[in-house]
A and B are shown apart, each in its own frame.
Chain A
């Protein structure tokens, strides 16, 4: 059964620093991996989608990488800002069934 893990559960970083969020999954047979941002009490905003054939995707200050063989993805945030404070979630779409599996997220706090 596919499992998705995000470590750490929470992270505090001073403003301006570059940072990396981690997502690991147990079954490499996936169609894609998607990163989301969620503000407290709000819905999910899609940040980046990496298809299984891709190694990375970039959007502005965000860069997501995917290493299927090792079951890992990272979300790199450059020059962090207080507005980046949120919970970041990753989700995988397995090939073996049609369920979508989420990690529990990393709660990020950027210190002004």
Chain B
């Protein structure tokens, strides 16, 4: 089954404790991205990757890191989480940008609470 998976689905942590949220897709998509969703602010893109070893900042990259060492995986790293990073996070993937055929597929979401 074609899908985007994220782990963990729920995470409660404390300020300053490094964490990683994993994202994996099995559709051989080049483009992957991370979003956060907050009430009243909608979905905002954190980072995206056009392909392996190519990553770029989205609209709200501060406090986050990503890596793209393999095509299928795109982990989101919070080196020193803070309470303002409490949010619902989504990973998504699609075929490469540059065409109109690149439908985005979303993971189920990770609800992160930073105390």
Contacts and interface: CB of A to CB of B under 8 A. Distances in A.
A49 B103 contact: yes
Contacts of A45: 106
Interface residues of A, number: 26
Given A44-B90, A89-B43, A98 B102 contact: no
B56 interface: yes
Interface in B84-112: 88, 90, 92, 97-109, 111
A104 B104 contact: no
Contacts of B53: none
Interface in B52-105: 56, 58-59, 88, 90, 92, 97-105
A104 B41 contact: yes
A45 B35 CA distance: 15
A34 B100 CA distance: 10
Contacts of B43: 89, 91, 102
Interface residues of B, number: 31
A78 B15 CA distance: 48
Given A100-B45, A102-B42, A103-B42, A31 B100 contact: yes
Contacts of B90: 43-44
Given A100-B33, A102-B43, A104-B41, A42 B109 contact: yes
B100 A99 contact: no
A98 B48 contact: yes
B98 to A, nearest CB: 7
B50 interface: yes
A63 interface: no
B100 A52 contact: yes
A51 B100 CA distance: 5
A32 interface: yes
A46 B105 contact: yes
Q: List 7 tightest A-B contacts by C-beta distance, closest first.
A: A51-B100, A104-B42, A102-B43, A44-B106, A32-B100, A49-B103, A43-B108
Interface of B: 31, 33, 35, 40-45, 48, 50, 56, 58-59, 88, 90, 92, 97-109, 111
